[in-house]
Chains A and B, each alone.
Chain A
């Protein structure tokens, strides 16, 4: 599956202040990406 999660992307320049990092308001996750489903 291609990368789905958008948070904590490390391709941008790393910043030390988490609070000021432009955090995406939308996060995509694979419907198959959570544990507890066989």
Chain B
């Protein structure tokens, strides 16, 4: 597994996040498809709850707060944080500046 040569931005769940502006999200029966018009990357969100979380990010002060607000079970939060980190790395979500 090779790591990207570009700068590695560590995912900080305490920052405010949002879906990236150049990203389209399309719900599907199994979750959602997420496509970045900027990077031409396509990702699949494999749970409907994760879709809800991603869409709710912009309304909460941090990713951590979003998970709580969406009632993500405690035991699953590490998996959800990992998923958000994956999305951050592929530029599907971005840090909110406002």
Contacts and interface: CB of A to CB of B under 8 A. Distances in A.
Q: Do the two shown chains form a genuine complex with each other? A: yes
Interface of A: 2-3, 6, 9, 11, 22-31
Interface residues of B, number: 19
A12 to B, nearest CB: 10
A27 B44 contact: yes
Nearest to B1: A11
B79 A22 contact: yes
Contacts of B90: 28
Interface of B: 1-2, 35, 40-47, 50, 79-80, 82-83, 86-87, 90
A28 B23 CA distance: 14
Given A24-B83, A24-B86, A29 B2 contact: no
